[in-house]
Structure 1
Amino acid sequence: MTDQPASPSRAAATPAAPRADVGVARPLPVGAVRLLPTGVLGAWQDRNAQATIPHCIDQLEAAGNLDNYRRLVGDIDPATPYRGFIFADSDVHKVIEAVAWEIGRSGTTAFDGWLDEVIDLLARAQEPDGYLMTAIQAGLRERWADLENAHELYVLGHMVQAAVALQRCAGRDDLLRVALRFVDLVDATFGPDGERVGICGHPEIETALVELYRETGEQRHLALAQHMIDLRGTGTLVAGGLGPQYFQDHEPVRQARTVAGHAVRQLYLAAGATDVYLETGEAELLDAMHDQWVDAHERKMYISGAFGSRHRDEAFGSAYELPSDRAYAETCATIADLHWSWRMFLADGGSRYGDVVEREIHNALAASLDAGGTRFFYANPLQSRPDKHSEESAPRERLPWYPCACCPPNIARAVAQMGAYVASVTDSEIAVHQFADADIDLPEALGSGTVRVRTRYPEDGVVEVTLDGTAPAGARLALRVPAWSTSTTVDGRAADPDPDGYLRVPLADGARLELDVAPRWTVAHPRVDAVRGCVALERGPLVYAIEQADMPDGVEVDDVRVHTDSPPRVTEGGVTVSAVAVPPPSALYATLGSTAPAPARPVTVTAIPFATWGNRTPGAMRVWLPTAD
């Protein structure tokens, strides 16, 4: 362990805990923001603890991830074949991290025995010089011989994040000692004074190293993260058939003004670069992050909060290239962006970041797993055709696990830490960014007691916030006003947010916020060719879809055209819309005007939240709907 002064782990038990006073807001520990099971997010966290995390633990056993360690230490026959992708160790690390945040959230001891067994296994498998990656130790590649594709530093990054989370939430440093030995080896090999020049083909270690610096106080970890960001875009990696953009190695980070390449890699890199800014205050780095964030969210984000429009390289496409049926929209990309957008909020504030996090949580992330919490989508298209065939990462229905299982454990860790994104503080105010039933402990600077948030959101737009305690004069409560809310009241009076998108009232007074969650039709930018002439239905933060299971007899999803001049109606089963069903012509192509219009059948269809589709039966679904107007 380090001799440097450690951070107060319990107070910093949050996924991003900056040391420097660079950002405009500070996060709260996951234990200080208790999402209650009476709300959507709190119930989700309970399901995560009771179903998703145990399911992931079982699948690590069934898929052979843990046997990959056991064969190295002789617990099973060393001749047992290695199983899984080369980066399978990272799934173990992500599940450990999910358990850590669950400990921080609820104080559970249910997973202690599993942690003891698995961390001991990792420690025994580690080589004397600190190296630990079972695929390389099994002989699948030579050490450091394929930085582009072997994921060695990526795997280490997830180990570091798990170790830091365990130290912060459970006060145990056994995994941290393992991780530090591996980091020491990497620093000696690839650090600023290292033996070699190299970076990982899959960014992720950067943000992990910054968190390690925050936890240990050792400047060298921050220096290593910054060094790896400095090298990105200098041609360090061998490009291969997908080109240097795939690895974000085509342009230096500070010069890049757009996001490109593999979506998950790009978004993890941006999160790491923003973490470095939050410790150094380097303006050039933040300027680049601002431009990249705008490009990602104003030109390349799906309405569901998903990213990545190309299957071949799991990548961002060009601006406005957002096909619905061929969307890759990997779950891990949404999670990576959640990390990045939260760090961007800590850096410079503003409601746009909370708006994006809300869109991601309630739509793309929520849709990625089933109602029971044990079946998952890897890709999250916005349209499923009736004759869609299952693909390895884009099946017709959710699966319990995947050969490349990066998404399920990533979901588990994201949900366990979700409370971290609900609120933040400054010296004079507490801001609430995500609305859910929650009890939020005040830090001493803002008084004493608990801020209580009570709401049926997103079912309705009423959010009641009260202070059970005392607050000093001048302390404020800031409430995010979503950009979609066309009318907002506070305590029954119309109110406009401040320029940053937040309404502010005295903290001691609390507030009753009412947002307009009436259903609304949304259109895309005219350059999004894939959905030209279509509309999407939204209500509050929720994106809606129509699904074959709800169609009237004889009506196909792809034949429905909606009337946008007829107001949608909220019903018990969803939102009911007026539409017509237009049978398709027989000809694939025909001269304009050469065929008589097909008879349109008036129908009423019920749209359901996109997050809930596919829970009944596989079938057609679409978010973007042609109009009949």
Structure 2
Amino acid sequence: MTATSPRTGTTSTRGPAAPTAAAQVALRPLGLGEATIGGGFWAGRQDANAAAIPLGRRRLEDAGNLRNLRIAAGREEGDAIGPIFADSDVYKWLEAVAWEYARRPAEELLAMQREVTAVVADAQAADGYLNSVVQVRHADERYTDLPWSHEHYCAGHLIQAAVAQVRCTGDTALLDVAVKVADHLADTFGEDRRHDVDGHPVIEMALVELHRETGDPRHLELARYFVEARGHGLISAYGHDPTYFSDRVPVREATTVEGHAVRAVYLTAGAADVAAERGDTALLDALARQFDHMLATKTYITGGLGARWDREAFGDPYELPTDRAYAETCAAIGGVQWAWRMLLATGDARYADAIERMLFNGFLAGVSLSGSEYFYVNPLQHRSDAHADGDRSPAHGRRGWFDCACCPPNVMRTLSGLEGYLATRDDGGVQLHQYAPGTVTAGATTLTVETEYPWDGLVRVRVDAADAPFALSLRVPAWAAGATLDGAPVGPGYARVQVAAGDVVELRLPMEVRTTTAHPRVDAVRGCVAVERGPLVYAAEQADHDTPVDDLRLDPAAPRAGAHRPDLLGGVTVVTAGELTLVPYYAWANRGAAPMRVWIPTT
């Protein structure tokens, strides 16, 4: 699917992050339609997600999000309901609709997009301001409580939806709204205007992407301003602790991430965009240090981010409890967005490894196999007789929606746009970062990828067309000891081979079951091991054991094996380790919210 943007006059299938020609990046992403998923594991998840998108529209109606916009537009009367950031859920859903249309065009998707876009446009104030809840409840109180009002946050998600819409359909209706919003923000905030930041980052990523779509330098400059303004304690003026809002340490000086996990990784993802477009190597180096520290000390084995239920936050280094892990689904999504931008900027395989871990585990656990129910919180242990003490408690099992419904439409937009994370190109060739059966097209080069990943480690790539020999780079994950490319051993990173039309190459990634021990400073799992196979983390679930899961022990010397079960949980490879039977962590709680654990004490 390609679409021509009437505003820019370019033909594009660009995905969520599309650096300009002037951006200093090592790799250029392939767009949706250039990298496709034609079957296998991820296609099944995308199909389930596609079926859930119309349901998402109904849930936004039932929850009042759409009604708020209609009231602000003067189409209905009444009071706004729901959280002050209710509009953002509508915008994430609109973004999902756009990417899904690019993946599989359907008139139903266009009709929903146009209907909701028209309401959003009608709700916009004459000067470009748009936040339905503020407009209905507090018409004269714009930006009076930026730490909590989420006004820039809602604007950011609106802009991201608008960019997706024009890239995927060519329709500029929402982009026109987004440009007015961005221009209003540029007229209001900045070094020589109001010096302030929103409590929840995302506007930074959005403004850079709007600049990439429109070419307006004001949008990039405002993104730069918001990145540089944070970290100087502006939030303190409102009487709040700046740590939670990533406002304690300037981004350039920070050595790790802290505070609210989603806020933190959205900010760093936006900062990575700014660094790429401005060629700011010092900023990029600072972000690399923060990412490395996060992976080493503040990331769960599932790729989950955020150790504390209290304020949905990162904890201290190595503070990674299992049963009280928050690991919000949105944080995993933000982690993928940050890692992807770092991968584009540097070409370093460790970022693609992080994306794989987050996608297959920390993110995917957040949505049911049916595609229509969600976890907000993703613990690594669920105890027997756990009590559901809140709307977001995993003891409920996955739920169709939440009072704070940030995660469901975030999942929708991520799965709909997943092809955008598969492959890149550079001047020398093509790089494959994530493996799924399908096709890859980069200029005159066309590849077919055949694989049953993540169940099988064979990845076969056929060069169907190429006008000259080129370098094909295939990612070898850090876990894949003993990997081979066309029979020759290859180490972790990227296996690079020169190919031409008609060539076929085979990457083999060993799929032995392995056990992992945590860093000794992670007190919560000392004396325990986790079981992994390929990119998947495994869990013991009560449905597969007579002994209470709370009492299970694993003998590290016991034989381990994997066997595919097409009849179980939509088709999974089950791992046996001694007396234990383990299933992929992402699939837990699809047979009820029964006891589960990832880290298992050893005998």
Residue 106 (structure 1) shift: 2.1
Partner of 1:593: none
SS of the equivalent of 1:111 reads: helix
Which of 474, 481, 487 is the aligned partner of 1:479? 474
Distance 1:212 1:362 in 2: 29
- Separation in 2, partners of 1:359, 1:486: 16
Q: Given residue 110 of structure 2, which amino acid in structure 1 is its aligned partner?
A: D
Name the CA shift for 1:567/1:9 in 2 (closer, same or farther; >3 Å): farther
Q: Say whether the 8 Å CA contact 2:304–2:327 is kept in structure 1.
A: yes
* Residue 47, structure 1, aligned to residue 48, structure 2: yes
In structure 1, the partner of 2:413 is 413
Call closer, same or farther: CA 1:182–1:487 in 2, change over 3 Å.
same
1:94, CA displacement in angstroms?
0.3
Q: What is the distance in 2 between the residues matched to 1:256 and 1:114?
A: 43
Structure 1 residues 240-249 or 608-617, which shifts more?
240-249
Deviation at 1:237, TM superposition (A): 1.6
Distance 1:111 1:575 in 2: 37
Distance 1:253 1:365 in 2: 26
User: C-alpha separation between the residues in 2 aligned to 1:160 and 1:383?
Assistant: 37
Q: Does 1:302 align with 2:295?
A: no
User: Following the alignment from structure 1 to structure 2, what is the Cα–Cα distance between the partners of residues 428 and 415?
Assistant: 29
TM-score by length of 2: 0.95
1:557 paired to 2:549:
yes
CA displacement at 1:496 relative to structure 2: 1.8
Gaps of 5+ in 1: 580-603
* 2:232 aligned residue: 234
Instruction: Classify the secondary structure of the residue corresponding to 1:237.
Output: helix
CA distance in 2, matches of 1:478, 1:403: 44
Asked whether 1:577 is paired with 2:576, we answer: yes
Hey, what's the Cα distance between the residues in 2 that align with 1:550 and 1:39? Answer: 25
Q: Using a 3 Å threshold, how does the CA distance of structure 1 residues 427 and 510 change in structure 2: closer, same or farther?
A: farther
Paired residue secondary structure (2:468): coil
2:449 to 431, 446, 453: 453
Shift of residue 436, structure 1, vs aligned partner: 0.7
Deviation at 1:343?
Answer: 0.3
Q: Does 1:57 align with 2:57?
A: yes
The question of 1:506 aligning with 2:504 is answered no
Are positions 1:465 and 2:461 aligned together?
yes
Partner Cα distance (2:489, 2:289) in 1: 31
Structure 1 residue 571 displacement after superposition:
2.5
Instruction: Render the CA deviation track for 1:337-372: whole Å, top value 9, x for unaligned.
Output: 101000000011121111111111111111111111
Number of the residue aligned with 1:147: 146
Superposition deviation, residue 577 in structure 1: 3.4
Structure 2 SS opposite 1:360: helix
2:121 pairs with 1:123: yes
Unaligned runs of 5+ in 2: 566-572
Please state whether the residue corresponding to 2:235 is helix, strand or coil.
coil
Q: Determine the C-alpha separation between the residues in 2 that align with 1:6 and 1:175.
A: 12
Is it true that 1:525 corresponds to 2:486 in the alignment?
Answer: no
Matching residue's letter, 1:460: D
CA contact (8 A) 1:430 1:476 kept: yes
CA distance in 2, matches of 1:149, 1:452: 48
Task: Confirm whether residue 605 of structure 1 aligns to residue 580 of structure 2.
Answer: yes
Q: Structure 1 43/575 Cα, relative in aligned 2: closer, same or farther at 3 Å?
A: closer
Instruction: Give the partner amino acid of 1:314.
Output: E
- Aligned to 2:484, the other structure's residue is in SS state strand
Q: In structure 1, what residue type is equivalent to 2:358?
A: E
Distance 1:238 1:139 in 2: 25
CA distance in 2, matches of 1:73, 1:501: 52
Query: Deviations for 1:254-278, whole angstroms, at most 9, x for unmatched residues?
Result: 0111111100000000000000011
Matches within 5 A, 1:272-351: 272-351=270-349
The amino acid across from 1:22 in the alignment is Q
Give the 3 Å change call, closer, same or farther, for CA 392–241 of structure 1 in structure 2. Answer: farther
Q: Flag the 1:527–1:480 CA change in 2: closer, same or farther, 3 A.
A: same
User: Do structure 1's residue 181 and structure 2's residue 180 form an aligned pair?
Assistant: yes
Aligned to 2:243: 245
Q: Distance in 2 between matches of 1:514 and 1:283?
A: 36
Q: 1:26 to 1:92 in 2, by over 3 A?
A: same
Residues 525 and 241 of structure 1: is their aligned pair in 2 closer, same or farther, counting only changes over 3 Å?
A: farther
- Classify the secondary structure of the residue corresponding to 1:537: strand
> In structure 2, do the counterparts of structure 1 residues 311 and 451 end up closer, same or farther at CA, with 3 Å as the change threshold?
same
Amino acid at match of 1:613: W
- 3-state SS of paired residue (2:363): helix
Tell me, yes or no, if the aligned pair for 2:65 and 2:87 is still in contact at 8 Å: yes
Q: What is the rounded CA distance, in whole Å, between the counterparts of 1:103 and 1:256 in structure 2?
A: 39
- In the aligned structure 1, how far is the partner of 2:154 from the partner of 2:23? 30
Map Cα deviations across residues 292-331 of structure 1 (whole Å, 9 max, x no partner): 1101111111111110001111111011110000000000
The structure-2 alpha-carbon separation of the partners of 1:317 and 1:128, relative to structure 1 and needing over 3 Å to count, comes to same
Seq. identity, %: 45
Indicate conservation of the 8 Å contact 2:394/2:593, yes or no: no
Structure 1 residue 438, shift from structure 2 partner: 1.3
Instruction: Give how far 1:497 is off.
Output: 3.8
2:146 is paired with a residue whose SS is: coil
1:395 match: 394
Over alpha carbons, which structure has the higher Rg? 1
DSSP-derived class of the 1:15 partner? coil
**Which residue of structure 2 aligns with residue 535 of structure 1?**
529
| Cα distance per residue 1:211-243 (max 9 Å; x no partner) | 010000011100000011111111222376762
Shift of residue 191 of structure 1? Answer: 2.8
The CA RMSD over aligned residues, in Å, is 1.7
Structure 1 position 403, deviation (Å): 0.2
Instruction: Give 1:107 deviation, angstroms.
Output: 2.7
**Partner Cα distance (2:511, 2:592) in 1:** 29
- Tell me, what secondary structure is at the counterpart of 2:464? strand
Q: CA deviation at 1:74?
A: 3.5
Aligned-pair CA distance for 1:9: 4.9
The offset of 1:140, in angstroms, is: 4.5
Deviations along 1:24-62, one digit per CA (max 9) or x if unpaired, are 0000111111101x211122112211x221121111011
Q: Secondary structure at the match of 1:289?
A: helix
| C-alpha deviation, 1:109, in angstroms | 2.7
| 1:26 equivalent among 25, 28, 31 | 28
Judged with a 3 Å threshold, the aligned counterparts in structure 2 of structure 1 residues 625 and 9 are, in CA distance, closer, same or farther, namely farther
Deviations, residues 90-118 of structure 1 (Å, cap 9, x unaligned) = 00000000011112222333211111111
Q: Which amino acid aligns with 2:314?
A: F
**Does structure 2 conserve the Cα–Cα contact (< 8 Å) formed by 1:477 and 1:507?**
no
Task: State the alpha-carbon separation in 1 of the partners of residues 8 and 557 from structure 2.
Answer: 57
Aligned mates of 1:6, 1:286 — CA distance in 2: 31
Does residue 1:212 correspond to 2:213, yes or no? no
State the distance in 2 between where 1:242 and 1:565 align.
52
> Which residue in 1 is equivalent to 2:592?
617
Which residue identity lines up with residue 81 of structure 2 in the other structure? R
Matching residue of 2:538: 544
Tell me the equivalent position of 2:166. Answer: 167
Partners of 2:408 and 2:18 in 1: CA distance: 25
Q: Taking structure 1 as reference, are residues 516 and 230 closer, same or farther at Cα in structure 2, changes over 3 Å only?
A: same
Instruction: Please give the secondary structure, in 2, of the residue aligned with 1:452.
Output: strand
After TM superposition, the structure 1 stretch with the greater mean CA deviation from structure 2, 506-515 or 323-332, is 506-515
| CA separation of 1:29 and 1:410: change in aligned 2, threshold 3 A | same
Shift of 1:560: 0.7
The alpha-carbon distance between structure 1 residues 321 and 9, as it changes in their structure 2 partners (threshold 3 A), is: farther
Q: 1:566 to 1:176 in 2, by over 3 A?
A: same
Judge which range, 320-329 or 118-127, deviates more: 118-127
Check whether the contact 1:48–1:373 (CA below 8 A) recurs between aligned residues: yes
Give the Å deviation of 1:393.
1.9
- For 1:31, the aligned partner's letter is G
Q: d(CA) in 1 for partners of 2:575 and 2:254? A: 44
